[in-house]
Amino acid sequence: MEESNEGRIPKHRLDDISLPINDKRVKYNTLFQEHFPINLSDAFSTQQTDQKNTKVQKPSSSLSEKKPLQKNKKNQKVAILCWDCSLGDDAQGASIEMTRIASILSERGHKVHVFTKGESQEVSEQQIDGISYHFFPINRQSSELESASLFANEVCEHIKRIESHEGPFNVVHCYDWQTAKVITNLHGRIPKRVLFTPSPQNSSEELPKDEIFQKDLLEQELITMSDRIICFDQEMGQDFQQRFSLSEEKISIIPKEFNWEDYQWIKDQGEIKKKYDLFPLDPLVLFVGEFNNDYGADILVDAIPGLLKDSSNVRFFMVGDGDQMWTIRIKARYLDFEHALRLVGHKEGRDLQELFQAADILVIPNRVAKSSYQILAGWSAKKPVVATYAAGGNLIKDEENGILVYDNPDSIIQGIEKILFDWPKGHEIAEKGWEEIRKNFSREAMIRKIETLYQ
């Protein structure tokens, strides 16, 4: 099927434009435009765009609203035990994780009960979005270990009453070490599957020293009784696996759902570039992170002069702040590449999302492993990602869904130029990254993996 040329500039027009560009740049921009099409109906307008008045296309309803999940034919009766469950705007940490999973399980047709501590002094129940929430009082004057023990007794009795009327639970999914005693107290009533998800918010540092040992014993006991440990964070999962010497058969690390829809609402990439006074055909390389040694901002800056030698129209946006800010500014002025570098400061929300969509290449020059957010956002926006082995080694397959490089300027230059000089390759890599998001980081993928462990 032939691709539409609507909204593109005919190739012959590039030669007719009175711009200080050489034949190499004309050929380069033409090839870039063929493989990364953008709407350039106003690209050569001499009128300046007012940044404040520029309006961005809002996300369509098809992207902002999630499609309903199909019902699972093998419905399970699931008990979720969560020590700290704050709903609504107060939700954080494990609460967000737990409520999201409970909601998806319910949408899939599973019968979900959530057992958690409450604010009142009496046991209460509430139906929220098809999920049965059971809230239990705790004595806030007692130690956390004592409160956890009393909580376990109440929950255990409540579960027994529910099972006597509705039948046994198929799965008990425990969040937080404080729920360990519930499983212990159930004795012979333990269901066929017990799963445990540790919470990063509940660390030993928050407990008095005399209670840390008892907490570790409870956590170890819960690990022993669980059929599988589920972690939703790669770094935490690896740390937990090493700390308790767990086999790969005992622990599963399931990637969290990533909201890729947030990075696909821009229809005109060129308009965003014009908003920042960039020529729409100039390739844009984006960096997002802190300006410090760990994120390698200085490595990218040291690579810029080398990249401009053969690609003088490439532009660089650096999003963030940090100790290296003034060093970067001074170096850009001293080495005469201020015109090619834009330090845009801190960005978040839609302002950050639109920059991911406006960029043509995402570079992640980290010296140490950090969050995978930049990679996932780049893939979601269908951009080729160039990352160091430290930043992308666990996610990126070199030359397939990204380019892996070393944390030095020469390697960064080579990685970026693989895309700059071969846009078809960049387009192919971006598509592979997009496939990775849909395959492993969608809510459908996450819930399929959880349901498999529930069987």
Least confident segment among 22-36, 160-174, 218-232, 276-290: 22-36
Please determine, for residue 27, whether its predicted confidence score (pLDDT) is greater than 80.
no
- The overall average pLDDT reported for the chain is 79
More confident residue, 99 or 200: 99
* pLDDT band per the 50, 70, 90 thresholds, residue 222: confident
Q: Which residues pair with 362 in a beta bridge?
A: 286, 385
The predicted pLDDT at position 193 comes to: 87
CA distance 98 to 176: 11
Asked if pLDDT for residue 134 goes beyond 80, the answer is yes
At residue 7, the pLDDT reads 37
What is the reported pLDDT for 66?
53
Q: Is the pLDDT of residue 353 over 90?
A: yes
Segment 288-323, tens digit of pLDDT: 999 999 999 999 999 999 999 999 999 999 999 999
What integer pLDDT is reported at residue 53 of this predicted model?
35
pLDDT of residue 319: 95
* pLDDT score at 233: 77
Nearest to 433 by CA among 383, 394, 365, 392: 383
Mean pLDDT confidence for 266-273? 85
With 60 as the cut, is the pLDDT of residue 54 above it?
no
Q: What confidence score (pLDDT) does residue 67 get?
A: 54
Tell me the mean pLDDT in the region 208-233. 83
What are the beta bridge partners of residue 171?
Answer: 78, 193
- Alpha-carbon distance of 160 to 304, in angstroms, equals 66
Q: Is the dihedral of CA 305, 306, 310, 316 positive or negative?
A: negative
% the chain with pLDDT above 90: 36
Sheet order of strands, 385-388 included:
341-345, 315-319, 284-288, 361-364, 385-388, 403-405
Q: Which of 62-66, 86-90, 337-341, 429-433 has the lowest mean pLDDT?
A: 62-66
Residue 205 pLDDT more than 60? Answer: no
More confident position, 43 or 344? 344
Q: What is the pLDDT of residue 191?
A: 65
Query: Quick one: pLDDT at residue 200?
Result: 65
pLDDT band at 256 (very low <50, low <70, confident <90, very high): confident
The phi and psi torsions of 65 (rounded to 5 degrees) equal -105, 130
CA nearest to 178, candidates 250, 83, 103: 83
Angstrom distances, CA of residue 49 to CA of 58, 65, 76, 276, 282: 19, 32, 56, 9, 17
Superfamily of domain 77-226: Glycogen Phosphorylase B; (3.40.50.2000)
For range 44-67, the mean pLDDT: 38
Q: How far is residue 269 CA from its own chain's centroid? A: 22
Where does the chain hold its CATH 3.40.50.2000 domain(s)? Answer: 29-36+50-58+265-440, 77-226
> For residue 450, which amino acid is it?
I
- Can you name the CATH fold of 29-36+50-58+265-440? Rossmann fold (3.40.50)
pLDDT of 201 higher than 60: no
What would the mean pLDDT of 234-248 be, rounded to a whole number? 83
Note the pLDDT of residue 188.
Answer: 66
Higher pLDDT, 51 or 240: 240
